[in-house]
Structure 1
Amino acid sequence: MPNAFSVHQTAAQAWEALLAHGGLEPAGRDREFVDKLLSLLAPQADDIDTALTNSSTDRFVQCFFQSMQQFTEMFRAILDYYQAAGARRGRQQLNISIEEAHLEFKDFEDFIQLWNDVPGDLEVPLVDQSTMSVHRVAFEAVPGLPSKTYKAVRGEICTGDPQVDAWLERYRDGHFSPVPPSLWLEQQQHGYKQLAAIGVAAVETILEIATSRSELWEHVPAARIEECDSFSVAHLRLLETDSWLGTMVAGLALARDLDEDERDRIGDILIDRLAGLPLRKIRTQVSFGDLQKFLSLPVWKKRHELYAVWIFTELLEAADHHDLRLHHDNGRITFQFRETLLASIVSARPNLDMITERKTPLDDPVGKGRTGNVQPDYSVWENGRLANKRCILVVEVKHYKRTANRSFADVLTDYAAAHPDAKVVLVNYGPIGDILDRLPFTAKWRCSVVENLTPLSALERERFRYIVRGVLGEPYRPAPAVDQSRHARTAIAVDVSGSMSEVLTDPKLEQVIATLAVGPVANELYPIDSRIHDPIPIDQSSRLAQLARDINSLAIPVSQLLGTYEKIFVLTDHDGLRDLADLGGVVEALPLTGMFKVSICQ
């Protein structure tokens, strides 16, 4: 891809052309993009115009390309999931409908293919700021190595490599210089290789602007660090207040003398933290014409609207331990301002539905513009046999560059009030701030916020997934086998609530269970009251009496069991019959036992 520029001779001219061509909103929704571009291009500049004045066109194009990666990873995540979902459903031509636009898979594929086709001499794991010091965490796996590393940086011991020791001496004197290439090149072990790539990229970035620590401090003010790209010189300046680069170089040199087991322990940590991360291309051969191609593609023009779609893929990632079923309407997946069933979790008990834009009535909402109901971006609802299906999770998505405390607090207040059993999560592309103290006490404990949630923010993504997984719970296992070749279609559930305590000690109970436990019936009993207890073997039914203490509320646990079995035999008393009335089972009195057998089918 050529680097020649026949029209735009300055970075400022190229920027103005891209603003017009790509629909960028530097004072609006793309403000964060501009901040990232500025942090890469010239963090010492007061604004983007000043930075462009002192930048070459080639460097501007390189930095613009790097700043686009947050959108690239968002498009990649959407493409990866829906491609897999389409293949599973036998539909290769699924498309996404969003705000009257229809984006086909090819639209995403074209963008990703164009990105992949840009040559780069070095690929670096795209770590966030919290992971940039992964080498320090890894070195702690070997007792004594962190201490030796700092001693080598201070010059108290040698590393055993004269070239590295000479580099460290210059480093102690406040000078930056290229690290001996042999140190980087010999890091071929998985994990070490990725760490070396981070080191190479960091050294090159620093040397582009400074050859000494004093020069770095002079040219890069600390005030702009918080909003910086993790590989920006401003962030590297912050890391260098604690000899970040020196400890990486010294530690890698000292690690040469470790035994294989010790090196493997370090490598395992590096792999755990770095494997699977997106890769950033360094020293790319990207042209202004390439940028124009990127900005003309349909997915770029809908990049802000697709943020909410990406959040849905994060929801699905959080549920990846479950069995998922993606829904579509004749090949179209709709993300518009109307209720749509997007996915079902069929391994949850009861099954769960992921729904977008479902309205729920609410009297007197406090949020501005809401009248009589709320309509969250995503909500997860139980889909069992009971009429009173509960919402267990609400996720509202914002794409604000800055916090809006009052508005955000009102969202959580209203959504928690309308969904009294749900965990309510507010996520934002930018900051949210401390808003939980603004909520009513009854709602505060059910609400969470995840701010700065972007495709490149590993910690925030993991926090969001952790919250969602905590709500969804673990998958229910398949029905236990009857024998080695058949799975059970029927199970026996025994009411162990307090009112059944006398019946559970009656020897006749074992005879009743033995009579039922024939044919394709599970070889375990399910004790139930207000929940499902751990199953016990059929020949150990005498243990049921030990559980008789809770109140009965049998409809929910029976509905959950019907997600696994075609039929449930429930042994219960008069109180239990009232609980099960809405499930419409066949009731049979069991003479001389005080029990009833209720047969309930899917």
Structure 2
Amino acid sequence: MDHIGSAADLWRRLCQLGQLRPRDYDADLVRSVKTEFGLIAGREVARELDRVGVQAEALVRVVLRDLQPFAMMMTDLLRLYERIAAASATKDSLRIVYEFSEDDQLDVLLSAFREQVRVTQSSIQSVLRLEITLDQLWRFPFSAPISNLSPELEAWAATYDAGFWPNSLPAPAPTGAPTLDAAVADTMAVLRAYLDRARSLAADRRSLWPGTRDLLPADAEVVGLSDAERWLPHRLFGLHSETAKAAEGRFYGNRIAARLRGWLDDLDWRQTEAEVVREALEEVLALPIWGKRHEFYSAWLVTEFDKALPGRLTFRVHEGVLAFPFRATPIADMDSTAGPVQLWAEMRSPYHAPISASRKRGIQPDYRFLAGPDLERDTLLAVEAKQYLRPAAKNPGQALADYSGGLPNALVILAAYGPVSQSAITYVPQRRRHRAQVHDYLRPGAVACDSFQQQITAALPPPKPKLATQEATLELHWDSVVPDLDLHAYVRRGDGEQHVFHEQPSSEHVELLRDVLDGREPEKMIIRQGGNAIRLRVDIEVWAYTPGAALGDAHPSISVPTDRGRLSVSLPASAPPTARTWFALTIDADGTVDVHREFVQRREGVNQDV
């Protein structure tokens, strides 16, 4: 590796290698670097880094810190892909194919994707890891309340109090005393490392606090616990306050320096070796997935769908390939109380009144959940992914307006990695705003993920209920004007089926407790699932045995204990007036209760004169 003497040298090298594209793809990194080091806008980055005298290690820390959310996206995607691979029996041979545009495709094996994620996370962790204990943090010698602050510190405190990580850390003004200024500079290096680590772990402050995240590195607990107690601002303001007092005399300044140096020596603080830091950055930026990291934001949203709908999505894997093509494609399927729902990517549907000039051919949200064949009226939820460097209004506002107009029954969500202007919603007509939502700063670890997942869950029909216990008692209730109704169960087996009813009241898995002949009390049937019992499918029917009577005269209903409380299944209004048998529900092998909302007879040719 060539010797890199400064941040400017490193920046030039990365640009020459094509690993950084500051004029387009990496404009967000450029903005972050300029903000972090106070570079003058409009000037060439490398020259500004030289002018300010930034060290290469400091630049690497900023770049890797800003890449951490994308590393977290990759980790989320890896977890999802490994679960899909296990379910489809493809294991490491699962291929993930992304088509970002018609001529831009990334094809990667799960095993290779796992290795890229491992390299990324290990490189970032090795550079940004904070090896400080809580006890060491709290022994910081100075603390001050948030009062009587300079304008610069007040602005910093306002950002922090709003729940966000400030972009920089204001340093005290130099005192002119070499010993004190050196101690302050070394102390600020630790405080900046603390802030960098916090920003790398979570998108905002609340997301890092105890109990809000799992699977974080060990030092995340130290940072999270201390930030919940506002460790950083009080120490930063204390450092500024005490340093300002150094003007009182050399003796006071020396005492401040000694206390700071004592705290620093106790930390045994070490900066990562410069060569290791630079190698870590180059290794990460050379990975294929980082050349497409912005495009992966849309793919990452699928992991949020999966979290909002735990265990409900069945992803489509065809011949070992999980595909995300740049055209209308069904991604996953989901069952629900309202029937099957499909998750589609890039599905276009007509809309004849768009306000955006780019949608003359119709509307095409990144994702939509579709509950039927009508692309307009059967879309329950549409999600559009956006990445903005600055708060935008027109583009997201027009997208919300067009999608909510063209999908009259859907909740439309704009999911943005960065900021969105509050005025974006004004583009949506007032009568449709309840169906248009904006989630900005939606990224791994952000509090915004909670509300996003909640809206996904609420917008879609719930899953079918399951039996509450392994041994569940069903009850048939009816009007005694028709004295004799009966429960019948058909237990599906590999070699046929067992019929359980009043003449054959029990089997290994189903038992009719008593044949009730007058309707004055419910007829009860026990269904045994799980445990030592083989999981089998059970069909439940109701038959009318009173001569000349029909089911409609008895108003029958079946009560089923489920994981969401007692479920009452009534004879559908579509039942013919002469019907004497009713196929009410099926209990699947996993305990799912599948209710027939429309009137169904189990098979053709059923004798209606039983």
When the two structures are superposed, what TM-score results if normalisation uses the length of structure 2? 0.59
Query: Offset of 1:329 from its aligned partner?
Result: 2.1
- Which residue in the other structure is 1:183 paired with? none
Q: CA deviation at 1:526?
A: 11
For 1:34 and 1:82, locate their aligned partners in 2 and report how far apart those are by CA, in whole Å: 32
The aligned residue for residue 250 of structure 1 is: none
- What residue identity is the alignment partner of 1:377? D
Distance 1:103 1:229, change over 3 A: farther
Taking the TM superposition and a 5 Å limit, the aligned residue runs for 1:219-234 are 230=165, 232-234=167-169
Letter in 1 for 2:96: I
Unaligned runs of 5+ in 1: 126-134, 136-160, 175-212, 238-244, 246-268, 495-503, 571-575, 592-596, 598-602
Q: Name the structure 1 match of 2:6.
A: 10
Larger Rg: 2
- How far apart, in 2, do the equivalents of 1:318 and 1:96 lie? 22
CA distance in 2, matches of 1:430, 1:280: 26
Which deviates more from structure 2 when the two are superposed, residues 68-77 or residues 273-282?
A: 273-282
Give the C-alpha shift of residue 328 in structure 1.
Answer: 1.7
Alignment of 1:184-223 (within 5 A): 217=153
Query: Deviations for 1:70-100, whole angstroms, at most 9, x for unmatched residues?
Result: 2211111111210121022111222222222
Q: CA deviation at 1:412?
A: 1.7
SS for the counterpart of 1:234 is coil
Q: Residue in 1 aligned with 2:233? A: none
Secondary structure at 1:98 match in 2: strand
Residue 324 of structure 2 corresponds to residue 335 of structure 1: yes
For the residues of structure 1 that align with 2:587 and 2:377, how far apart are their CA atoms?
15
Rounded to whole Å, the distance in 1 between the matches of 2:401 and 2:75 is 34
**Residue in structure 2 matching 1:35, options 31, 34, 44:** 31
Residue-by-residue CA offset, 1:444-481 (whole Å, 9 max, x unaligned): 1111111121224x211112111111123543233578
Mapping of residues 250-329 of structure 1, within 5 Å: 271-273=210-212, 275-277=214-216, 283-285=271-273, 286-320=276-310, 322-329=311-318
Given that 2:584 and 2:595 are in contact with CA atoms closer than 8 Å, whether structure 1 keeps it comes out as no
Please tell me whether residue 512 in structure 1 is matched to residue 485 in structure 2.
yes
User: Which residue pairs with 1:440 in the alignment?
Assistant: 429
CA displacement at 1:347 relative to structure 2 = 5.7
- Equivalent-residue separation in structure 2 for 1:276 and 1:402 (angstroms): 31
Residues 346-371 of structure 1: CA deviation (Å, up to 9, x unaligned): 46542322111122222333322223
| Contact 1:124–1:279 (CA under 8 A) maintained in structure 2 | no
Letter in 1 for 2:344: I
1:471 is matched with 459
Paired AA for residue 288 in structure 1? R
Greater helix share, 1 or 2?
1
1:374 aligns with 2:355: no
Q: Distance in 2 between matches of 1:326 and 1:374?
A: 24
After superposition, what is the alpha-carbon deviation per residue over 1:18-65, rounded to whole angstroms, capped at 9, x for unaligned? 1232443434343333333445x4258657553553201222223222
C-alpha deviation, 1:423, in angstroms: 1.1
Task: Say whether residues 1:88 and 2:111 are aligned partners.
Answer: no
Provide the aligned C-alpha RMSD in A: 5.2
| Secondary structure in 2 matching 1:374 | coil
Alpha carbons 2:331, 2:344 under 8 Å: kept:
yes
Q: Contact between 1:492 and 1:526, CA under 8 Å: does it hold in 2?
A: no
Q: Is the 8 A contact 2:559 2:569 kept in 1?
A: no
Task: Name the SS for the 2:382 alignment partner.
Answer: strand
Map of 2:68 onto structure 1: 69
Is the Cα–Cα contact under 8 Å of residues 376 and 408 in structure 2 kept in the other structure?
A: no
> Is 1:24 the equivalent of 2:23?
no
Distance, in Å, in 1 between the alignment partners of 2:557 and 2:429 is 37
Pair 1:361-2:350 in alignment: yes
Using the alignment, how far apart are the partners of 1:296 and 1:302 within structure 2? Answer: 11
Provide the C-alpha distance between the structure 1 equivalents of 2:394 and 2:584, rounded to a whole number of angstroms.
40
Paired residue secondary structure (1:361): coil
Q: 1:409 to 1:462 in 2, by over 3 A?
A: same
Structure-2 separation of matches of 1:341 and 1:302: 23
Once the two structures are superposed, what CA deviation does each residue of 1:532-586 show, in whole Å capped at 9, x if it has no partner?
x996269xxxx999999xx9589xxx9996695999897xxxxx9xx759x9985
What's the counterpart of residue 559 of structure 2? 536
Once the 2 structures are TM-superposed, how far is the Cα of residue 120 of structure 1 from its aligned partner? 3.5
Matches of 1:560 and 1:449, distance apart in 2: 42
Q: What is the Cα deviation at residue 379 of structure 1?
A: 0.9
Partner SS, residue 304 of structure 1: coil
5+ residue gaps, structure 2: 100-104, 173-186, 188-207, 221-269, 490-499, 513-524, 528-539, 543-551, 576-581
> Judging changes above 3 Å, is the alpha-carbon distance between structure 1 residues 98 and 537 closer, same or farther for their aligned structure 2 residues?
closer
Q: Which amino acid aligns with 2:409?
A: D
Alpha-carbon distance in structure 2 between the residues aligned to 1:479 and 1:289: 56
Q: Distance in 1 between matches of 2:309 and 2:568?
A: 36
Equivalents in 2 of 1:28, 1:375: separation in Å? Answer: 25
How far apart, in 2, do the equivalents of 1:284 and 1:590 lie? 83
CA distance in 2, matches of 1:432, 1:388: 26
Q: Secondary structure at the match of 1:171?
A: coil
Pick the aligned partner of 2:383 from 395, 412, 418: 395
Partner deviation per Cα, 1:177-217 (whole Å, 9 max, x = no partner): xxxxxxxxxxxxxxxxxxxxxxxxxxxxxxxxxxxx87985
Residue type of the alignment partner of 1:26: P
SS in 1 for 2:484: helix
SS of corresponding position for 1:273:
coil
Secondary structure at 1:272 match in 2: coil
Q: CA offset at residue 117 of structure 1?
A: 4.0
Deviations 1:505-544 (A, max 9, x none): 4521x623457883769769999x9xxx996269xxxx99
Q: 1:459 aligns with which of 437, 444, 447?
A: 447
Residue 105 of structure 1, aligned match among 103, 110, 118:
110
Question: Partner amino acid for 1:437?
Answer: T
Deviations 1:109-142 (A, max 9, x none): 23222234447487459xxxxxxxxx9xxxxxxx
Shift of 1:66: 2.0
Q: Distance in 2 between matches of 1:467 and 1:545?
A: 27
How far did residue 272 of structure 1 move?
1.0
Mapped to 1, the partners of 2:457 and 2:448 lie a distance apart of 14
Work out whether residues 583 and 599 of structure 2, in 8 Å CA contact, stay in contact via their aligned partners in 1. Answer: no
Match of 2:55 in 1: 56
- Separation (CA, whole Å) in 1 of partners of 2:83 and 2:568: 48
Amino acid at match of 1:111: Q
Tell me if structure 1 keeps the 8 A contact 2:4–2:10: yes
Matched, 1:115 2:120: yes
What amino acid is the match of 1:101? L
1:318 Cα offset (Å):
1.4
The aligned amino acid for 1:507 is: V
Q: For 1:45 and 1:228, locate their aligned partners in 2 and report how far apart those are by CA, in whole Å.
A: 27
Distance of 1:559 and 1:350 partners within structure 2: 17
Tell whether the 8 Å contact from 1:366 to 1:414 is kept in structure 2 after alignment. Answer: yes
Does the 8 Å CA contact 2:413/2:437 hold for their aligned counterparts? yes
Displacement of 1:422: 1.4
Change (3 A) 1:376 1:545: closer
For 2:24 and 2:82, how far apart are their aligned partners in 1? 32
Q: Work out whether residues 6 and 56 of structure 2, in 8 Å CA contact, stay in contact via their aligned partners in 1.
A: yes
Conservation of the 8 A alpha-carbon contact between 1:308 and 1:397: yes
CA distance in 2, matches of 1:306, 1:477: 34
2:418 counterpart (423, 430, 438): 430
1:493/1:469 CA distance change after superposition, 3 Å? farther
